[in-house]
Amino acid sequence: MNWIILIIAGLFEVGFASCLGKVKETSGTTMYLWFGGFLVCLTISMLLLIKATQTLPIGTAYAVWTGIGAVGTVVMGILVFKDPVSFWRMFFICTLIGSVIGLKAVSH
């Protein structure tokens, strides 16, 4: 169950990073709404990370949380913010995914 909580926390990390990207692109009321989304996602992500680390090793949980956030943010950047896609960028994202899966596999 705590792995599911950790995955959800990682997805909210993607949310707060994406909201930051939208804050940078907007102004006025829209900017404040995106900033509010950032604060909500940040709070939920941190609370879920704290919950997950009550039974998972902190090093593993943090690495998985940041890995999910990094991969998700890159995907959001490509799909929403039109970030460039290159072979090496995708290669290293795949190695990061493999590392997260490996951490899950060797954790007790």
Residue-by-residue pLDDT tens, the chain, 108 positions = 999 999 999 999 999 999 998 999 999 999 999 999 999 999 999 999 999 999 999 999 999 999 999 999 999 999 988 999 999 999 999 999 999 899 888 877
Neighbours of 73 (CB within 10 A): 20
Position 98, amino acid: G
User: What tokens were used for 97?
Assistant: 């995914």
φ, ψ of residue 85 in degrees (nearest 5): -115, 130
pLDDT at 103: 86
- Nearest by Cα to 73 from 3, 21, 6: 21
**Polymer length of the chain:** 108
Domain spans in the chain, listed from the N-terminal domain onward: 2-106
How far apart are the C-alpha atoms of 101 and 48, rounded to whole Å?
20
User: What tokens were used for 96?
Assistant: 């990061």
How far apart are the C-alpha atoms of 54 and 77, rounded to whole Å?
32
Place of tokens 């989304």: 37
